[in-house]
Amino acid sequence: MVIVDRHKCGHCGACVAVCPVYAIELVGTWIEIGEECKECGLCTQVCPMGSLEVGT
Ligand code: SF4
Ligand code: SF4
């Protein structure tokens, strides 16, 4: 599971674009990671704000 720190997220959409399984939903300022997440870590690498983390 990927954890989002919503206080850090700048809503840039970079994570949405890179997710291979389209698990990230970004609507306005709301962001959510769905259960489709495969924990590949790609989104954590592209986030400019460091707001995504692969957790447990
Ligand atoms: S860890 Fe991978 S599969 Fe999960 S939300 Fe991020 S990019 Fe998508
Ligand atoms: S890449 Fe980071 S800052 Fe951009 S929308 Fe995703 S979580 Fe938010």
Atom of ligand 2 nearest to the CA of 46: 1
pLDDT beyond 80 at 56: no
pLDDT at residue number 48: 98
Q: What is the DSSP string of 18-42?
A: H-TT--EEEETTEEEE-TT-----H
Written out in words, the top-level CATH class of the domain with range 2-54 is: alpha beta
pLDDT band at 25 (very low <50, low <70, confident <90, very high): very high
Which pTM was predicted? Answer: 0.94
**Candidate of 16, 18, 22, 37 to mutate for ligand 1, largest count of ligand atoms within 8 Å of Cβ:** 37
What ligand is nearest to the CA atom of residue 49?
2
Mean pLDDT of 27-41: 96
pLDDT at residue number 53: 97
